[in-house]
Amino acid sequence: MLLSHPVRLISFLLAVAASAAFAAPAAPAPAVRSLLVEVRAVPAKDQLAAGRFDYSDYNRVALLSLVRDTALQLATPAEFAALRQDGYQARIVSESPDVLTLYRRACYGPTLRLPPVYHSYDQIVARADELVRLHPERITRVTLGETTQFHRPIYAYRVSSDARRTQPKPGVLFDGCHHADEVMGAEIVFTLLQKLVLDYGRDPEVTAWVDRCEIYLVPVVNVDGHDIVTSGRDPRWRKNARDVNGDGVTGVFPEGVDVNRGYDFNWAMGGTGEPASDRYRGEHPFSEAENRAMRRLLELKPLVLSVSYHSQGEVIYYPWRWGTQAAPDDALIREIAGEIAGQIPTMAGTGTYATAPGGPGSQSYPWLYGRKGVLDFIIETGKGAHLFPPEEVPGIIAANLGGVRALLARTAGPGLAVEVTDAATGRPLAAQVWLPRIENETVDRRSTEPEFGRLWRLLRPGRYDLIISCPGYETAVRPGVEVKAGAWTPLAIKLAGNPSR
């Protein structure tokens, strides 16, 4: 072999070294964005899509927030000079070679701590538990599970006219913080929880909601991630705190799993299998304890409506657009989404929230609708940030409570209130209730809850065909059942036993 001879080997190495000396110099390392820059009075034209200050979700490279007309961004000295040269009102807020330091200053302010207008999970739990002690008939705590990494409890709170037990009422869910940095959701749900308990018996509207419904509130789904953000450690954190690479070190950005990409409806269509991605979906559906906790809630109580709060965009996403195909209940879903959006004013005060169909894969709303028959909506609260300046928080909460009113108004109907019982014993049955002219094979069929034999099915006024079936019983067919406008239309079904089935 040519290089087996020592002299030839030395000559070859000398030739390589000589050629390297004349090679093109290595490309310079990219300039580090070491400046946190504030830009005031950003023109409206620059805030549009593809504009210089187009704020896109999770663009963590440069633009960090754009609230009203004030931007916070990371910049190199050259980029800062270009902003000034182009006439922008730009100033340096902070300088550091460490990106996390700049993020913390941008999101937490000069104290580098989350402003007290936001609450830690411990504070939320302490206040909610105080309400449980003071009003045990109105609110109770339900443990859904523990977090994946640190095994912290994930709580739901049930609010009802008799919260000490489940009741045959329509179930509604409000949850926040699937994503750790979207802490506004926790604040909205926490505020609503207190309002429902404290205003019962004083506010006729609240009293009607609580008497009519069984309302579940999960202020924080992603408890571990929420703690990373609210403790002041890392405002960038979106996923849970799972030690994905198994090195025993947690809290190293961007580890974790995106809790809102882990549900088992078209799981492979949502998120990505890349662990470093913000949208890493985990190894398999329900790999994360946070997702299993939400599944546990649906095992405890079937739901009619639900809302999951996220940030940002001032838009409501609903299920779904699947290629060119809409959801089976599309007309009704769009109608309700429009009612909710129409009651939530934007931060600018120039209109209300928009609505848009979401995709069909692995997030909470396609899973809740496709698997559980729940009309679920993701509400992207606020505009231009994930952690909003403290002065913006009360207004965003108040605006979204208007959407709560619109959603809870729908719990009065119209729709079918179905009750299925054993014709001989009167015992409630867990029966499948199928509307063949609406539902197709993209969704699982809906069933009555076993404890009460009840199902609430929101529908637009009109006539509907129903097929009711239960193992061991004769199938019942009810053609042309009329759903009237306004309240629920009751429908009692008594199934006759058939041992051969």
* CATH code, 70: 3.30.70
Assigned token pair, 377:
């909506």
Is pLDDT of 289 > 50? yes
Is pLDDT of 194 > 50? yes
23 within some domain: no
Q: What is the CATH number of the domain that holds 461?
A: 2.60.40.1120
Contact status, residue 47 vs residue 65, Cβ threshold 8 Å? no
- State residue 10's pLDDT score: 43
Q: What percent of the chain has pLDDT over 90?
A: 90
Cα separation, 213 vs 304, whole angstroms? 10
- Alpha-helix residue ranges (DSSP H) falling in 342-375: 364-372
Q: Which of 255, 222, 243 is nearest to 121 (CA)?
A: 222
**At which of 362, 393, 411 does a domain end?**
411
- State residue 61's pLDDT score: 79
> How is 405-423 classified by DSSP, letter by letter?
HHHHHGGG-SEEEEEEEET
Map residue 114 onto helix, strand or coil. Answer: coil
Instruction: Using the CB atoms, write b or e for 421-456: b if 16+ within 10 Å.
Output: bbeeeeebbebbbbbeebbeebbeebbbbeebbbbb
12 within some domain: no
Same domain? 366 vs 440 = no
**At which of 82, 108, 134 does a domain end?**
108
**How far is residue 302 CA from its own chain's centroid?**
19
Q: What is the CATH number of the domain that holds 272?
A: 3.40.630.10
Same domain? 353 vs 393 = yes
Contact status, residue 257 vs residue 148, Cβ threshold 8 Å? yes
451 within some domain: yes
3 within some domain: no
Cα separation, 421 vs 495, whole angstroms? 6
Q: Tell me: the pLDDT tens digits for 430-485?
A: 999 999 999 999 999 999 999 999 999 999 999 999 999 999 999 999 999 999 99
Instruction: Using the CB atoms, write b or e for 38-63: b if 16+ within 10 Å.
Output: bbeebeeeebeeeebbebeeeeeeeb
Contact status, residue 182 vs residue 239, Cβ threshold 8 Å? no
Same domain? 54 vs 193 = no
pLDDT band with cut points at 50, 70 and 90 for residue 114 = very high
Q: Tell me: the pLDDT tens digits for 18-43?
A: 444 445 556 666 678 999 999 999 99
Q: Which residues contact 226 (CB under 8 A, 6 or more apart)?
A: 121, 177, 180, 183, 186, 220
Is pLDDT of 498 > 90? no
279 within some domain: yes
Question: For the residues 374-378, what does the mean pLDDT come to?
Answer: 98
One-letter amino acid for residue 36 of the chain: L
Q: Tell me: the pLDDT tens digits for 322-375?
A: 999 999 999 999 999 999 999 999 999 999 999 999 999 999 999 999 999 999
The CA angle 267-272-273, to the nearest 5 degrees, is: 95
Question: For the residues 274-287, what does the mean pLDDT come to?
Answer: 96
Map residue 456 onto helix, strand or coil. Answer: strand
Same domain? 403 vs 430 = no
Domain assignment of residue 291, given as a range: 121-302+310-411
Same domain? 279 vs 292 = yes
Map residue 470 onto helix, strand or coil. Answer: coil
Cα torsion 277, 279, 283, 287: sign: positive
Same domain? 478 vs 460 = yes
- State residue 21's pLDDT score: 44
| DSSP H or E stretch at residue 334 | helix 330-341
- State residue 471's pLDDT score: 96
**How far is residue 2 CA from its own chain's centroid?**
65
Same domain? 159 vs 297 = yes
- State residue 56's pLDDT score: 77
Is pLDDT of 17 > 50? no
Same domain? 439 vs 462 = yes
Same domain? 96 vs 125 = no
- State residue 7's pLDDT score: 42
Question: For the residues 278-290, what does the mean pLDDT come to?
Answer: 97
| DSSP H or E stretch at residue 357 | strand 354-357
- How many domains, in total, are found in the chain? 3
Same domain? 293 vs 436 = no
Same domain? 80 vs 225 = no
47 within some domain: yes
- State residue 371's pLDDT score: 97
Same domain? 293 vs 423 = no
**At which of 371, 394, 411 does a domain end?**
411
238 within some domain: yes
Q: Which of 430, 404, 401, 400 is nearest to 418 (CA)?
A: 430
pLDDT band with cut points at 50, 70 and 90 for residue 58 = low
Tell me how crowded residue 204 is: count the other CB atoms within 10 A of its CB: 9
Q: What percent of the chain has pLDDT over 70?
A: 93
First to last CA, the chain: 81
Is pLDDT of 181 > 50? yes
364 within some domain: yes
pLDDT band with cut points at 50, 70 and 90 for residue 218 = very high
